[in-house]
Amino acid sequence: MVRYGFATKGDPIPGINEGDDLTDKYLWVRQELSTNNATHSPELESLELEIKGEAVIAGKGEDAYQLSYYDGQLRGYINNQRVSSALTLDQYQHVAITYNGSHQRIYVNGLLTGTLALTGDINTNASNLVMGLNLEGELDEFRLSPVARSQAWLQAEYHSGTGDLVQIGGEAQNVNAVYTASGTFGGVGAGPLRVGFGATGTSSRTASGASYWGIMELSGNLWKMTIAAGSVAGREFTGLHGDGVLTEAGFFNTANWNAGTLGLRGAGFTTALDRLRVSDRNNITTLDAAGRHNNRGGRGVRTAP
């Protein structure tokens, strides 16, 4: 670092070159110009100074945790310890930093690209959480997890957002479509299978059978019980949460919940192929709520709060 340096108007600053890393350095600028004329000191005509530091993707500072970008490098900080990796510009990237108590790691598109041994708890500070500071790009989603995510989890998250777009056809025409199919999907002894059975570390969203948001097996594994808006009982459903208490007969006790509210969508592992379409409503009003069936299940979801 240059301790003393002088520059005239329009000249570069001595000791500082274009692209230099000015992290942890400072620049002092006098707000007046001096000349050899002892009686004249002109005012500062103009000052155009642009100094760019690291672009913060997200974090609370290098002394706690932070993911940053600088000069082609993705930088992950935990407790002032930095791990770096090359990052390609001008394209969508899924980036992450993790810490499991023994190593901090950074990932790009689900691939491990940098690691550093580290122990101890993550420091706390009073700084605000910052996202996108000085970043010349766009953040479409950010997630802060209370646990160290595995590489498999990060790969699944990356692939769930980069699924293939399937071209169905041109503009819709006002004609009736006829679908015919036959056969079965698996057999009685072939299911149900675990969630995500169709996904691999490299499969796309479409190939793994996931929805746009990465929800697995919307069809073909188990029939899903859904609220049937086509019935009177379904339209009376208000979205109230249950209280976890069942009646002596084993039923729910929440207002506007009843067996007629539910229908079946998505088909199961014993179902004919023409029923696998998520939009198929053949069984939307057919549900034996008191029976037990090995090809039916549900989704554990709730609204907020």
Range in 114-118, 168-172, 189-193 with the lowest mean pLDDT? 168-172
**Which pLDDT band, with edges at 50, 70 and 90, does 285 fall under?**
confident
pLDDT for residue 112 is more than 90: yes
Cα distance between residue 240 and residue 246, in whole Å: 15
Residue 185's pLDDT is 47
Two structure tokens written together for 234 = 């379904």
Give the model's confidence band at 4: pLDDT under 50 very low, under 70 low, under 90 confident, else very high. very low
Q: What's the mean pLDDT when you consider all of the chain?
A: 76
Res 301: pLDDT: 62
181: how many CB neighbours lie within 10 A of its CB?
A: 10
Average pLDDT of the residues in 62-80: 93
Q: Is the pLDDT of residue 187 over 50?
A: no
CB 218 within 8 A of CB 225: no
Asked if 127 and 60 count as a contact pair (C-beta separation under 8 A), the reply is: yes
For the chain, percent of residues with pLDDT exceeding 90: 23
Q: What pLDDT score was predicted for residue 24?
A: 58
pLDDT at 121 over 80: yes
The answer, yes or no, to whether residue 106 has pLDDT greater than 90, is yes
Q: What is the mean pLDDT of residues 96-110?
A: 94
pLDDT in the model for residue 74: 93
> What single-letter amino acid sits at 196?
G
Nearest to 56 by CA among 46, 65, 47: 65
* 286 pLDDT above the threshold of 90: no
SS3 string, the chain, reads CCCCCCCCCCCCCCCCCCCCCCCCCCCCCCCCCCCCCCCCCCCCCCCCCCCCCCEEEEEEECCCEEEEEECCEEEEEECCEEEEEECCCCCCCCEEEEECCCEEEEEECCEEEEEEECCCCCCCCCCCCEEEECCCCCCCCCCCCCCCCCHHHHHHHHHHCCCCCCCCCCCCCCCCCCCCCCCECCCHHHCCCCCCCCCCCCCCHHHHCECCCCCECCCCCCEEEEECCCCHHHHCCCCCCCCCCCCCCCCCCCCCCCHHHEEEECCCCCCEHHHCCCCCCCCCCCCCCCCCCCCEECCCCCCCC
Lowest mean pLDDT among 88-97, 130-139, 259-268: 259-268
pLDDT tens digits, 221-252: 888 888 888 778 888 888 787 788 888 877 77
pTM of the model: 0.44
pLDDT digits (tens, 9 = 90+) for 138-148: 888 888 898 99
What average pLDDT does range 38-59 have in this prediction?
A: 63
